[in-house]
Structure 1
Amino acid sequence: MTVQIVFDARARLGECPLWNVDRQQLFWVDAYNHRVHQFDPATGQDRFFDVGDIVSAIAIVDRDRLLLALRDRLAYLNVESGEVTAFYQFNFPYPNTRCNDGKCDAQGRFWIGTVSETAKQAELYRYDPDGSIRVMETELTISNGLGWSPDRSTFYLTDSAPHKIYAYDFNAETGTIQNRRTLIDLSSEAVEPDGLSIDTQGNIWTALWNGWCVACFDAAGKELDRINLPVQRPTSVTFGGSNLSDLYITSASVGLSQKEIQQGFNAGDLFRLSTNAQGIPSHALSSAIIE
């Protein structure tokens, strides 16, 4: 497996890569620079939209629109016009809280976690086709990478602060989760699991913040591999390309000292890893939600 730098973005906080099958393009965000990027691997060109606020997660709405998770709002972005239309305002129970990683499930429900400055004050929310928001998990600190097993029986959720990835029993019909257990525990290391993606074999690929690598675990939580990267802080991963076998990796430069940036000069860049795995296509927001 070989790692390529596909765009020298120098992002502050690259996050949430999302492969759009219809366009054969990768969307991703630079959260602190308020940018949603659109990368075309066929041309190597990247353009961005300034959405005017911290943007932490995106999801597909339709060919021309994305769902955005901003600091404390949900919004639509039209990628043809650049217009941003906010439609939901969160009222978080704790101060100094903002949206973080998010993703749609196969039923088109949008799951979005938060990050808090105080331990155990973050939560996980579910935005449903009827327009309602439900709290699905509490007492998190940095709600991060999330995903579902290929058979949709298991839900995965990362809390980066305790260095753990949890597994839950998942009911696809009702969208409920229960029986939380620690699947992957990296608390003995300085690395933090961040964004993740699931392949068709049920393996979990996760970026390891401060780990200089991406790790792959099987569905039982056994580590299968670590692939070294030229940056200290990879942030998230997704499968893309015509066969969904290319793993795209975002990274961050935020918080690094000048010495650390010199050691990892490509901090904040966008990477691609050719793998022998195949990803699962990203799910879109339910058409019942879309206004």
Structure 2
Amino acid sequence: MGQYPLHNVLEARARLGEGPMWDSTRKLLYWVDIYNHRVHQFNPATGENDFFDVGDVVGAIATAGKDKLIMLLRHHLAFLNTQTGEVTPILEIEGNLPDNRLNDGKYDPQGRFWFGSMCSLEKPQASLYCYETDGSLHVMETGLTISNGLGWSPDRKTFYLTDSPQQKIYAYDFNSVTGNITNRRIFVDLTHESFYPDGLTIDSEGHIWSAMWGGWCVIRFNPRGEEILRIKLPVQLPTSCAFGGDDLRTLYITTASVGLSQAEIDKSFYSGDLFALQTDVTGLPAYNFSELK
């Protein structure tokens, strides 16, 4: 498998582009610009990109029924009406931890919404949560720094979770029926590298594609955690990736420009833009909500 051709499909110049999510019903790619408080919807068929200003930092989004998204604000789980732009808070989370904010999230195979928080590096007090279909919230993991890139293997037996500052991707045994995770182990250890694993997605062959913050690349790992492909990018700060398109063979990659010096931007001119590449593998369709309250 060789290097895939890469295309800059949207010159967004986002501060912190993140959380790409393909809506197979509407044929749109949703993504966020965290610090600009925007939820974007990109139409690859027309090249048009619209956005909603949600009035707060926004870490992740997912579909939640017709004309509705569920999203992570700084300290709230909330709904966004994609017809009116109205934001409706659901739950306050970690409001007692002002240095924390909510970060990345996805649905599991049973329609539960999993998401994590991030904290200051001096205090590893971020957590991983599961919002159940009955509206209850459960803490699934603690002692994290930046709960990031999460996903499930095609056979639904393994759950993956990234802790970016620790430069590790963890694997857990996953019980799809109960939602329990056990037997945490290190899946990928990047402590020998100068960059950090960020958001991830998983293809139908069970390979993990992880965006490398500071690494100018996306890396594909096999189910044993071995690097098998490195996709080089023209930007320093890739943040996340997701498969989309009619055949789920297009890998969309979000990027960031936040914190870069002018000299770094000169070297990484397209920082914050949205990229896409056609692959010869199929991604997994995004799991859907299940009667979220």
Three-state SS of the structure 1 residue aligned to 2:64 is strand
1:108 aligns with 2:111: yes
Name the CA distance, whole Å, in 1 between partners of 2:270 and 2:238. Answer: 11
Structure 2 counterpart of 1:151, one-letter code: D
8 Å CA contact 1:23, 1:63 repeated in 2: no
Structure 1 counterpart of 2:77, one-letter code: L
Unmatched 5+ residue regions in structure 1?
none
The match for 1:96 among 87, 99, 109 is: 99
1:214 aligns with 2:218: yes
1:177 aligns with 2:181: yes
Equivalence for 2:11: 8
Three-state SS of the structure 1 residue aligned to 2:247 is coil
Name the CA distance, whole Å, in 1 between partners of 2:20 and 2:148. Answer: 13
Three-state SS of the structure 2 residue aligned to 1:62 is coil
1:35 aligns with 2:33: no
Equivalence for 1:157: 161
Name the CA distance, whole Å, in 2 between partners of 1:218 and 1:284. Answer: 25
The match for 1:80 among 74, 79, 83 is: 83
Equivalence for 1:191: 195
Unmatched 5+ residue regions in structure 2?
none
8 Å CA contact 2:94, 2:101 repeated in 1: no
CA offsets 1:187-209 (integer angstroms, 9 cap, x no match): 11111000000000000001000
TM-score normalised to structure 2 length: 0.97
Three-state SS of the structure 1 residue aligned to 2:270 is coil
Structure 1 counterpart of 2:285, one-letter code: P
Name the CA distance, whole Å, in 2 between partners of 1:209 and 1:283. Answer: 25
The match for 2:283 among 264, 273, 279 is: 279
**% of aligned pairs identical?**
57
In the TM superposition, what is the alpha-carbon distance from 1:63 to its structure 2 partner?
3.1
8 Å CA contact 1:122, 1:139 repeated in 2: yes
Three-state SS of the structure 1 residue aligned to 2:204 is coil
1:51 aligns with 2:66: no
Name the CA distance, whole Å, in 2 between partners of 1:168 and 1:5. Answer: 35
- Off by >3 Å, runs of 4+ in structure 1: 91-95
CA offsets 1:41-81 (integer angstroms, 9 cap, x no match): 00000000000000001111123110010000011111111
Name the CA distance, whole Å, in 1 between partners of 2:96 and 2:288. Answer: 28
Worse-superposed segment, 138-147 or 94-103? 94-103
Name the CA distance, whole Å, in 1 between partners of 2:145 and 2:42. Answer: 31
Equivalence for 1:264: 268
Name the CA distance, whole Å, in 2 between partners of 1:248 and 1:208. Answer: 14
8 Å CA contact 1:166, 1:183 repeated in 2: yes
Equivalence for 2:232: 228
Name the CA distance, whole Å, in 2 between partners of 1:42 and 1:63. Answer: 21
8 Å CA contact 1:22, 1:63 repeated in 2: no
CA offsets 1:163-210 (integer angstroms, 9 cap, x no match): 000000000000000000001000111110000000000000010000
8 Å CA contact 1:127, 1:133 repeated in 2: yes
Three-state SS of the structure 2 residue aligned to 1:32 is helix
Name the CA distance, whole Å, in 1 between partners of 2:269 and 2:82. Answer: 31
Structure 2 counterpart of 1:131, one-letter code: G
In the TM superposition, what is the alpha-carbon distance from 1:92 to its structure 2 partner?
5.0
Three-state SS of the structure 2 residue aligned to 1:137 is strand
Name the CA distance, whole Å, in 1 between partners of 2:229 and 2:42. Answer: 28
In the TM superposition, what is the alpha-carbon distance from 1:94 to its structure 2 partner?
3.7
1:128 aligns with 2:118: no
8 Å CA contact 1:60, 1:283 repeated in 2: no
Name the CA distance, whole Å, in 1 between partners of 2:66 and 2:201. Answer: 22
Pairwise CA RMSD: 0.9
Equivalence for 2:26: 23
Name the CA distance, whole Å, in 1 between partners of 2:254 and 2:62. Answer: 16
Work out the number of aligned pairs and report it: 289
Name the CA distance, whole Å, in 1 between partners of 2:187 and 2:96. Answer: 28
In the TM superposition, what is the alpha-carbon distance from 1:119 to its structure 2 partner?
3.8
CA offsets 1:237-280 (integer angstroms, 9 cap, x no match): 00000100000000000011110011000000000011111111
Structure 2 counterpart of 1:80, one-letter code: Q
Name the CA distance, whole Å, in 2 between partners of 1:242 and 1:235. Answer: 23
Equivalence for 2:243: 239
